[in-house]
Amino acid sequence: MIGRFNWAGMVDFLPQLFTGLYYTLLISVVGLIIGFILGGIFGLGRIAKAKIINIISVVYIEMIRGTPVLVQAIWIYYALPLIIGFEIESVTAGIIVIALNSGAYIAEIVRGAVQSIDSGQMEAGRSLGLNHNQTMRYIIWPQAFKRMIPPLGNQFIISIKDTSLLSVILVPELIFQGRLIAANHFNAVEIYTTVAVFYLAITLTLSFVLQRMERRLDI
Amino acid sequence: MITVKNLHKQFGDTEVLKGIDCEIQPSEVVCVIGPSGSGKSTFLRCLNMLEPVTKGEVIVDGRRLNDPETNINMVRTEVGMVFQQFNLFPHKKVIENLMLAPQKVRKVPEKDARERCLNLLEKVGLGDKAEEYPQQLSGGQQQRVAIARALAMEPKMMLFDEPTSALDPELVGEVLEVMKQLANEGMTMFVVTHEMGFAREVGDRVLFMDEGAIVEEGKPEQLFSTPQSERTAAFLNKIL
């Protein structure tokens, strides 16, 4: 049976969907900020000379890249409390998942960008008497950061969409709210269409901002 | 100014430098020539420890480079280096390329650094390019900026690693001119080059390297006109 869209009453659900949007944004923003810091640390750890730091970074990156986000979410929400002995609130767990997950991918982006800078830049800095850290800070990082922006934008968008999987650990984000409404009002098609528009609004805004940024920085 | 004793350098199993002895006096201009793969660039890079030394001694200005006690960053401030590929910092303006190291390493106040660096740019004929970015300049101009950048640290000596090899032929002259001027001012210079004209005219001494060793050295006019070694003669025959 093919029915028709029934948008009647959709406005009434908007407040609930905006609550979902709030959590989606909260987890995305906080998760990605922490993920960016993790990515910076482990990305540099991946190319560090110290073996032990190197191994820790590789293990972290490969563990995360090798398992689905869904599994990571379930594991952190349900399994981790068994180890640490206390429960983690679902929103906190969601932030941890997004941070850990994006951190691993961002680490690879950071590593790639730093390694893509011509080795002559490091040599030029060192030959002037700058030490390794100074050369990284004033010469390598600023150039690498510019190159990181396009792949970072990509990762941000992926991570934002990954938050939709967090409904399985009861994070009250967009999908969670949508499913709740749809179950009670039998309007899954209209609700999920609206939810899709919400996601698009976030990702398109981000794309636009990134594009402006790339143009300004002349990448 | 530089003393090199029995310098060996190995990359994995390949021995690139096989025991080099060399002495460079203050204000001397030493040119190194030789076929590619003869180890001349590696030799130069050992003089400021861009390549760690495998065996032997490199003593610069009284400091032994491969001694863990030596602060290599301090030594490098005294030894300027110019690269084949310029290696300017593309995200910084020309003047910032020059000012960075004096400000961060020597802690020169910004105003003084700017003034001094502008003078240096004038000196290499690029006073009007201070606010441009490196990629807006021609190869010859970029290499002159690179020379000025090295000079901004007021080094006691300069290393040149094939400074004109990446340049279009018509841009070589302007770079050599700056180097010549520097030599005339009494700068100690160590130049790996394929510019035989420069070596002959400006060099106080020429080293011919082949297969990781110094085969022959002497005054330019002597080495170019009456080479003692057969290998030197064969090399010169091919390129002159």
Per-residue pLDDT of A5-17, as tens digits, reads 888 778 889 999 9
Residue A12 half-sphere exposure toward CB, CA atoms < 13 A: 7
Mutation target to probe the B interface, by most B beta carbons within 10 A, among A119, A121, A128 is: A128
Which of A125, A128, A134 is closest, CB to CB, to B153?
A: A128
Report pLDDT digits (tens) over A107-159: 999 999 999 999 999 999 999 999 999 999 999 999 999 999 999 999 999 99
Residue B141: which of B181, B100, B187, B88 has the closest Cα?
B88
Residue A49 — pLDDT band, cuts 50, 70, 90?
confident
For A119, the enclosing helix (H) or strand (E) is: helix A119-127
Closest-CA distance, A123 to chain B, in angstroms, reads 7
- Minimal Cα distance from A127: which residue of B? B76
Contact: B91, A129; criterion CB under 8 Å: no
For B108, the enclosing helix (H) or strand (E) is: none
A102 has a pLDDT exceeding 60: yes
Mutation target to probe the B interface, by most B beta carbons within 10 A, among A119, A121, A123, A127 is: A127
CB A148 within 8 A of CB A190: no
Tens-binned pLDDT, residue by residue, of chain B (240 aa): 899 999 999 999 999 999 999 999 999 999 999 999 899 999 999 999 999 999 999 999 889 988 888 899 999 999 999 999 999 999 999 999 999 999 999 999 999 999 999 999 999 999 999 999 999 999 999 999 999 999 999 999 999 999 999 999 999 999 999 999 999 999 999 999 999 999 999 999 999 999 999 999 999 999 999 999 999 999 999 887
A2 has a pLDDT exceeding 70: no
The mean pLDDT value for A197-209 works out to: 96
Give the pLDDT of residue B31: 96
The mean pLDDT value for A87-107 works out to: 97
CB B9 within 8 A of CB B54: yes
- Which has the higher per-residue pLDDT, A217 or A199? A199
Contact: A128, B50; criterion CB under 8 Å: no
Distances (CA, A) of A40 to A118, A132, A140, A200, B91: 19, 17, 13, 28, 21
Give the pLDDT of residue A1: 54
Report pLDDT digits (tens) over A162-198: 999 999 999 999 999 999 999 999 888 999 999 999 9
The rounded distance, in Å, linking the Cα atoms of B173 and B176 is: 5
User: Which residues of chain A are within 8 Å of residue B79 when distances are taken between CB atoms?
Assistant: 127
The answer, as to whether pTM is greater than 0.90, is: no
Q: For the purposes of burial, counting CB atoms within 10 Å of the CB of B237, is it exposed (0-12), middle (13-18) or buried (19 or more)? A: exposed
Give the pLDDT of residue A14: 92
Q: Spell out the long-range contacts of A206-209 with Cβ–Cβ below 8 A and sequence spacing 24 or more.
A: A206/A153, A206/A156, A206/A157, A206/A160, A207/A153, A207/A157
- Minimal Cα distance from A134: which residue of B? B104
ipTM of the complex: 0.92
Contact: B80, A127; criterion CB under 8 Å: yes
